[in-house]
Amino acid sequence: MSNNLNLSQVAAAQNQKEVTINDQAGQLDAALTEVLTIEVDNSNAYVLAADQFRRSFFIMVTEGSPAPTAAIVVQVPAIRRGLFKLLNLTAQIVTIEVSGQSETAPQIPPGENRMLSCDGADVRAAGTGAPDLGGASIGALLDVDIAGIAAGQQLTWNGTALVPVTEPFDVGVHLPDLSTAGALLAEIVLARPVDFPAGFSGSTGYARIVATGETVLDVQKNGSNIGTVAFAAASSTPVFALASPTSFAAGDRLGIVNEDPADATLAGVSLTFAGTRGS
């Protein structure tokens, strides 16, 4: 039977066993809940005594006088502790370790805290087989793949890992009447940045009433033509054209302008421009 916490033990044929049992309960309670505040001065180091380590769950590292001037090393005894927590309330990085430990010791940045464990030889960040992940990239996690990640992307689950994707942002418009030649049929003011790929790739549309002859609608950015949406005669689906990728900033206007002269029949047109969230 282990006694890593060095708890009081009831002896054989002991009188007043309740005293020892109550002491033991208090020692267990301390190991699970007690707060130990340590002050570190400009020696930049602190060595915990065995009872301090055994009888405290929260270890709060604070600045003494004179204040520490460099990274702080907190050394704990070679005692097993399943879980304990260190809170760094100083302006310096705190490293916590067993003297001579073989693994890289966890580092806790100023103002942060870590859940830790100690097997009597090494202190580790709790729940990991590696040293502290607190200051590492999210990509260090086994089920996160951030290879090639770019600004504005988000992580999504692909069934195996979290991978970066660009957030889609589609812009839809319905044009019920296209009878007025050269008219501005619709104009949308964008509330956030949007990027459209060359050719308006991925965009789609539908005409409830097809055109008599080929009809080309102009697509505008802030009043200037940038692309087209073309319906062939008797076709309900359009062909989109955009010479190169085009970005719209928040407040830019996406407009649709009718052909001049207007087609005699084309009507009930719905268009969805496939874009992605800009940065």
Residue 40 is part of a domain; what is its CATH number? 2.60.120
Residues 87 and 118 grouped into a single domain = yes
Residue for token pair 């965009």:
203
179 shares its domain with 79:
no
Report yes or no on 9 lying in a domain: no
Q: Are residues 154 and 185 in the same domain?
A: no
Residues 245 and 268 in one domain: yes
In whole angstroms, what is the distance from residue 235 CA to residue 215 CA?
A: 10
User: Do 207 and 161 share a structural domain?
Assistant: no
CA gap 10, 18 in Å, rounded: 9
The token pair at 209 is: 């009433």
pLDDT in 10s for each residue of the chain, 279 residues: 567 777 778 788 788 877 777 877 777 777 788 999 999 999 999 999 999 999 999 999 999 999 999 999 999 999 998 889 999 999 999 999 999 999 999 999 999 999 999 999 999 987 544 444 445 555 555 567 777 777 767 777 777 778 877 889 999 999 999 999 999 999 999 999 999 999 999 999 999 999 999 999 999 999 999 999 999 999 999 999 999 999 999 999 999 999 999 999 999 999 999 999 887
- What lies within 8 Å, CB to CB, of 253 at 6+ separation is 187, 188, 189, 190, 220, 221, 222, 223
What the block records as the tokens of 234 is: 């008797």
Whole-prediction pTM: 0.51
Q: What are the residues facing 177 on neighbouring strands? A: 267
Tens digits of residue pLDDT in 221-240:
999 999 999 999 999 999 99
CA distance 150 to 180: 44
Read off the pLDDT of residues 52-100 as tens digits, 9 standing for 90 and up.
999 999 999 999 999 999 999 999 999 998 889 999 999 999 999 999 9
| C-alpha separations of 38 from 13, 30, 92, 132 in Å | 40, 16, 14, 21
Give a yes or no: residue 10 inside a domain. Answer: no
Name the residue with tokens 């065995």: 50
- Does 256 share its domain with 179? yes
Q: Which domain holds residue 95?
A: 17-136
Residue 36 belongs to some domain of the structure: yes
* Overall number of domains in the chain: 3
Half-sphere exposure of 64 (CA within 13 A, CB side): 12
Q: Where are the alpha helices (DSSP H) in the chain?
A: 17-33, 50-54
Residue 77: per-residue pLDDT: 94
Task: Report the distance separating Cα 61 and Cα 106, nearest Å.
Answer: 14
